[in-house]
Structure 1
Amino acid sequence: MLRFFCKTVLLTKAKDSRSSQALFLRTISSTESTSGTLGSIDQKNLTISYLMNSCGLPFKAAISTAQKIRIETTERPDSVIELLQTNGFTKAHMANLITKYPPLLFVNPVKTLKPKIEFFQSLGFSRSDLARLLSSDKSILLRSLQKQIIPTLNYLKTFVHTNENLVSALKRCSSVVGCNVKRILEPNIATLRSYGVPDSNILRMITLHPKLLTVNVYRFKDVAATVNKMGFDPNGCAFIIAIFAMSMVSKQKWEKKREVFRSFGWSDEEFLLAFKLQPMVMLTSEKKLVIVMDFFVKDLHLKPSAVAKYPNLFLVSLERRIIPRCSVLQVLMSKGHIEKDLNIFSALICNKQPFDKRFVTRYEGEVPEVIKAYKGEMGFLGFDS
């Protein structure tokens, strides 16, 4: 009768998750207090209870994960959890990691986990940064330390030179740890060198855009050839940034984004100009490209060809930066403090400090409305209003 009741609790979809969790835990407690050997249902109860209480998994996630593993004794899981906790893993970290890879609870913590943790700590990872890294990418803990992790990172270090740069790269893209040196890393770097890219720029790429190294070798070669044909200088940082931007966007999405610009009247030459000035513009979503272009052309009445010269504006927030600044300029124009033929682009593209000094703090006493406009408390009505 008790086992039938447990099974009912496990399979019933509760309307109130907290109530169902409490009921479930009371049932487990009742089950574990009975004498005799735990049956299959009891072992499942133990697994779910352990996943929730010791590993921090939510109720539903614990039930799902319990379909993949079964905890018959907590001795090995306890030692794994203890090692992780000792090295700065919170329950949130452990829940994330174990949800992605439940069998981790049964590995040998001394032979499998501890050496890897100590190795990454020796590179300079803080406890919190390392816990974040390892819990977000389960594959690292599954890699061989001697055959994969150390050789790969040693190879990268010949370019980045310091552990600090290496740690910075891994924080940005941990998947580079799993790349094969001979089949992926060396060929991609060889492609860059074939165009004359200096090692100083390769260092910069690995530190800031390490994900680029993980791109398929044939795709990498194809993109590098295209970027070179566009006229990017291999000695400049923009060459690598352009390869990165193009590699991260599928050919289909690339054409859709180009079509957005064409729909607003950009020629192929204007598109190339914008991409060469700021390659990262192509990492902006199609939706944002449409919204920003629409604002510049329809609300500000700017020529699309003029917008092409300032592609950095697609990388900043329309709501938090562009519109509030336009509102400030609108207020000042309406009061006659600035001319309507002001270069709008220079005002929008400049950094916060010079904009504040020139248009906000300079007039806040005489025109207090600029503060409300800058905070987004006044809607932008257009420069002609």
Structure 2
Amino acid sequence: MLRVFCKTLLITKAKDSTSSHGFFLRTISSAESTSGTLVSTNQKNLTIYYLVNSCGLSFKVATSMAQKIHIWTTERPDSVIELLRTNGLTNTHIAKLIKMYPRLLFYDPVKTLKPKIEFFQSLGFSRSDLAKFICSDKAILLSSLQNQIIPTLNFLKTFVLTNENLVSALKQYNRLVGYNVKKILEPHVATLRSYGVPDFNISKMIISVPKPLGLSILRFKDITAMVNRMGFDPNSRSFVVAIYSMSGLSKQSWERKREAFRSFGWSDDEFLLAFKVQSRIMLTSEKKLGKLMDFFVKDLHLKPSDVAKYPNLFLLSLERRIIPRCSVLQVLMSKGVIKKDVHIVSVLNSNKQSFEKRFVTRYEGETPEVIKAYEGEMGFLGFDR
């Protein structure tokens, strides 16, 4: 029950992204405190005031949240906010976290929140990475440390072996924290082992492409069986990467993209070859696939069957990588500095340092136009211009 007291609360103004809103909290006298409506109004205003001024939320968001939570005293919320700030969370992090789960303000900071934060710190999270991690998913601070977090991470560590690898996995996919060992993780591991996937490849999956581990048991089994039928080697990292690529698509999306490759003139064998070489091509949007193939065929005069041998091309950015590099080659060819028989696919696939050393810094003295071309200031007109 609200204690009868007299206390003057501050008059303040809060702003959201579109307009200003003024609100005030009146002095509650002994007589007024008997009015349930007045107490409720002041309590709601205190909630809004706190969410805006202490948590960094906009007035609009705070007003909406005040319908769901009620702050009667700021002692517990203040302690929660202080704990978060002490452990590296900025105002932006705190606003995001409280907006995601406002009831966190009422958790016991000493018994419930601090032990979890200290546990993640013990794994080797940097201060900045821990702040990002904590506010990336509400389940991280809400899950039971003893019954969920520790058992799950201990299970994962039997494969990844070190805390450093474990932190890499968690940064890659924060939802790993919430996966049940008996109901999800152990069945998935059993499925992989049934196809002969060795533990070192399971480790690679956990560290670099862990998202499929959150699939339902049936869906995970279906995808793994399909990858096996396609002829992927269970001893190769490509096996688990293929599972990852397929897990990001519904069956309908898979068929639409498969049809897109058929529209390029690819045979089933050419598609399978491309997918086995680079399974991530199926995560590229249909729009980008079409745009890239159009450029390869019309502007670079490559045959679709040739492109199928180099599927990594579909992972590159047309605007940021392919066109600037082609523009550099165009300048050098037009000046007669290099021959026109350059293997364009190899050039596009080469890393940044190698390309710059071979075609930019090597010639920028005698052909300064390569700098403009490389920085995207010159359009690509074709190698025959």
The answer to whether the superposition gives a TM-score over 0.5 is yes
The letter for the 2-side match of 1:195 is: Y
The one-letter code matched in structure 2 to 1:364 is: E
Greater mean alpha carbon deviation, residues 161-170 or residues 32-41: 32-41
How far has the Cα of 1:34 moved from its partner?
6.0
- Supply the distance in 1 between the matched residues of 2:79 and 2:366 (Cα, whole angstroms): 67
Alpha-carbon distance in 2 for matches of 1:18, 1:342: 53
Distance 2:125 2:371 in 1: 42
Distance in 1 (CA, whole Å) between partners of 2:245 and 2:329 is 33
1:40 paired residue number: 40
Q: Structure 2: how far apart are the matches of 1:179 and 1:376?
A: 45
Give 1:163's aligned residue: 163
Equivalence for 1:382: 382
Contact 2:17 2:58 in 1 (8 A): no
Q: Does 1:280 align with 2:306?
A: no
Matches for 1:1-385 after TM superposition, within 5 Å: 17=16, 20-21=19-20, 23-24=21-22, 27-28=23-24, 31-33=25-27, 35=29, 36-37=32-33, 39-385=39-385
Q: CA deviation at 1:361?
A: 2.0
Aligned equivalents of 1:107, 1:48: Cα separation in 2? 19
Corresponding letter in the other structure for 2:307: V
- Residue 259 of structure 1 aligns with an amino acid whose one-letter code is E
Amino acid at match of 2:308: A
**Letter of the 1:199 counterpart:** D
Unaligned regions of 5+ residues in structure 2, if any?
A: 1-11
1:54 and 1:367, CA in 2 relative to 1: closer, same or farther beyond 3 A?
same
Specify the alignment match of 1:6 in structure 2: none
Q: Distance in 2 between matches of 1:353 and 1:127?
A: 31
Task: Give the letter aligned to residue 285 of structure 1.
Answer: S
| CA distance in 2 between partners of 1:152 and 1:17 (Å) | 41
> What amino acid is the match of 2:163?
N
The answer as to whether partners of 2:16 and 2:58 remain within 8 angstroms in 1 is no
Q: What's the CA shift for 1:75?
A: 1.4
Residue 155 of structure 1 aligns with an amino acid whose one-letter code is F
Q: Which residue identity does 2:258 align to in structure 1?
A: R
Superposition deviation, residue 375 in structure 1: 0.8
The CA deviation at 1:20 is: 4.4
- Runs of at least 5 residues in structure 1 that lack an aligned partner in the other structure: 1-8
Judged with a 3 Å threshold, the aligned counterparts in structure 2 of structure 1 residues 105 and 351 are, in CA distance, closer, same or farther, namely same
Q: Distance in 1 between matches of 2:302 and 2:27?
A: 75
Please state how far the C-alpha of 1:17 moved relative to its aligned partner. 4.1
1:165: Cα distance to partner?
0.8
1:228 is paired with a residue whose SS is helix
Q: Give the Å deviation of 1:342.
A: 2.1
CA distance in 1 between partners of 2:66 and 2:384 (Å) = 64
Question: What is the alpha-carbon root mean square deviation over aligned residues?
Answer: 1.9
**What's the % identity of the aligned pairs?**
71
Q: How far apart are the structure 2 equivalents of 1:110 and 1:241?
A: 41
Q: Which residue identity lines up with residue 91 of structure 1 in the other structure?
A: N
Count of residue pairs brought into register by the alignment:
368
C-alpha distance in structure 1 between counterparts of 2:381 and 2:126, whole Å: 49
Deviation at 1:287, TM superposition (A): 1.6
Specify the code of the residue in structure 2 equivalent to 1:284.
T
Question: Cα distance, 1:357 vs. partner?
Answer: 2.1
| Structure 1: 4+ residue segments shifted above 6 A | none
- Cα distance, 1:128 vs structure 2: 2.0
Q: Hey, what's the Cα distance between the residues in 1 that align with 2:72 and 2:329?
A: 69
Aligned residue for 1:39, secondary structure, equals: helix
Deviation at 1:96, TM superposition (A): 0.8
Displacement of 1:302 in angstroms is 1.1
1: distance between equivalents of 2:114 and 2:365? Answer: 61
Matched residues in 2 for 1:357 and 1:115: separation? 51
1:138 and 1:189 map into 2 onto residues whose CA distance is 26
Change over 3 Å in CA distance of 1:19–1:148 after alignment to 2: closer
Distance in 2, Cα, partners of 1:302 & 1:115: 59
CA distance in 1, matches of 2:160, 2:306: 39
Query: What residue identity is the alignment partner of 1:172?
Result: Q
Partner of 2:135, secondary structure, is helix
Alpha-carbon separation, structure 2, partners of 1:20 and 1:276: 54
Taking the aligned partners of 2:18 and 2:171, their CA distance within structure 1 comes to 39
Structure 1 window deviating more from structure 2 (351-360 vs 114-123): it is 351-360
SS of the equivalent of 1:45 reads helix
Higher normalized helix content (fraction of residues): 1
User: Offset of 1:340 from its aligned partner?
Assistant: 2.3
